Amino acid sequence: MKRMILALSLACCGAVLAQEEPQVTWKRTEPPAPPSFRLFHSDMAFNIPTSSTIRKKEMQFEIGHRFSDPISAKQSSFYGLDSHVLMRLGMGYGVTDRFTITAARSNAFGNVDLRGKYRFLEGKGAVPVGLAVQAGAGWNSTYEPPEEQHGSLKEDQMQYYGTLIFNTMFGRHVAFGLAPSYLRNSDLFHPDTRNTTALGTYLQIYLGHKFSVLAEYTHKVSGFSRGHDPVALGVEMETFGHFFKIFITNSVYLNPSSYLAGADAAWHHHEWRLAFIITRLLRLGGDDKD
């Protein structure tokens, strides 16, 4: 009997050892699908949108900061880092590979922003071109007319905007964009509805696969302006699913219906504020394509 039990035990051990190594299910079984062609890797410069959209079933979380004091405030607020922060939190979703919707909120007037962007052309060629359109609305949820002027100003808290986006690339490392925009009800503090037409431009120079320098400028063409054109200059670092943008700017405004009306400080007066944006892409589904 002992010999039989020993023989059965050895047979069972041999059968276990002869089995194949169990498959590890958490490892990727196929290589990831190559990303679609993009002139700009990110869906926006610092404020101005690019023609790029996030992929279908991707979700993008965004956090942006603008420090209210300028860098020149070395002693009083440690280069502005100890000053009040204007902040934006946003979440975008790829309905399709060409259509993205984004909802965000900034603490400037409690501006709640909802927008959609559709990319109808972006491809390779001798002169690559990207075309897209963006439209949205901003609700200034905490806006109230000054107490001494209450009753003389309008109560309209809504703003509406639209942007046509044109992108191209020179060579392999220099991307350029134009973004004419229209903003309705750009001046909340005026009894009449005033509008703004602006032209945004931006240039990005890729110094490698993950690092680039970026500049943008938004010029008021007509209508209301706070008096200064927004300017931003900085760097963009890209890693797996993340974009880190660190820059200086003369504007504290983040949402489109706010920054399109102009900056609150003059660039040439060196009233530059430190700012940053961090985005994170989250994949919610399979690798669907256009």
What was the pLDDT predicted at 8?
Answer: 43
Class of the 35-283 domain? Answer: mainly beta
Burial 181-199 (b: 16+ CB within 10 A, else e): bbbbbbbbeeeeebbbbbe
23, two tokens: 């498959």
Quick one: CA dihedral 277, 283, 289, 290, positive or negative?
negative
The three-point CA angle 273-184-52 to 5° equals: 65
What was the pLDDT predicted at 151?
Answer: 55
Is the pLDDT at 97 greater than 50? The verdict is yes
Residue 74: alpha-carbon gap to chain centroid? 29
Reported as a single tens digit per residue, the pLDDT across 161-195 is: 999 999 999 988 999 999 999 999 999 888 888 99
Q: Which of 33-37, 113-117, 155-159, 209-213 has the highest mean pLDDT?
A: 113-117
What was the pLDDT predicted at 146?
Answer: 60
What was the pLDDT predicted at 145?
Answer: 66
Q: Name the 3-class secondary structure at 166.
A: strand
What was the pLDDT predicted at 37?
Answer: 55
Reported as a single tens digit per residue, the pLDDT across 134-164 is: 999 999 988 776 655 555 556 788 999 999 9
What was the pLDDT predicted at 263?
Answer: 94
CB atoms within 10 A of CB 202: 24
CB atoms within 10 A of CB 60: 22
15-24, 51-60, 128-137: which has the minimum mean pLDDT? 15-24
| Single-letter amino acid code for the residue at 138 | G
Is the pLDDT at 126 greater than 90? The verdict is no
* Domain boundaries of the chain, sorted by first residue: 35-283
Is the pLDDT at 15 greater than 50? The verdict is no
Reported as a single tens digit per residue, the pLDDT across 233-280 is: 999 999 888 999 999 999 999 999 999 999 989 988 778 999 999 999
What was the pLDDT predicted at 269?
Answer: 76
Burial 257-276 (b: 16+ CB within 10 A, else e): bbbbbbbbbebeeebbbbbe
